[in-house]
Amino acid sequence: CSRPNPGVQRRSGPGTRAEYVRRATTMSEAADSFKDIAVPEGSDRRELYKSPYRAIYTYKMSAQELDEKFREAITGDHQKGGWQIKNDERVKYVGKLEVSKEVSEDGDPSNKKKLDYKVSFEDYPEAGMSALKYYTIQSYTK
């Protein structure tokens, strides 16, 4: 067996570029939603924290621009869309709101469950950034 460079061994598995690309792709797909709520694309989006109960994302854009992207992402006519905004307590795009959606369980349209989550917008104009936080209702009230 002749190799072009006998001193270099090809590796596969954890730590290789292929594994890194696979994990990065999986992570970016997971970062596109929190509990089936779409996370909007935006300028320099970063996931700061994510757990089963909440998620925090920052953006290099104003809260007003983030609001536009958020509304497009959650209310659109696509798989992760169809959410309703309710209890919007925000002032100048900053503050809390709730989102709600009815989904059928097990494909049975008569068996629906209601999903409710809290969303918080923060604006940091001096840094040209804003933050979007998603919470489950249970974690928000504790």
Tokens of 7: 């001193």
CA atoms within 13 Å, Cβ hemisphere of 82? 11
Q: What is the pTM of this model?
A: 0.72
b/e per residue, 102-136, with b = 16+ CB within 10 A? eeeeeeeeeeeeeeebbbbbbbeeeeebbbbbbbb
The pLDDT score that the predictor gives to residue 92 is 94
Residues 6+ apart with CB under 8 A from 142: none
Distance of CA 39 to the CA centre of its chain: 3
The pLDDT score that the predictor gives to residue 15 is 58
The pLDDT score that the predictor gives to residue 32 is 80
62-88: pLDDT as tens digits: 999 999 999 999 988 777 788 999 999
- Percent of the chain at pLDDT exceeding 70: 74
Candidates 114, 113, 58; CA nearest to 86 is 114
The pLDDT score that the predictor gives to residue 23 is 44
> How much is the average pLDDT of 46-53?
94
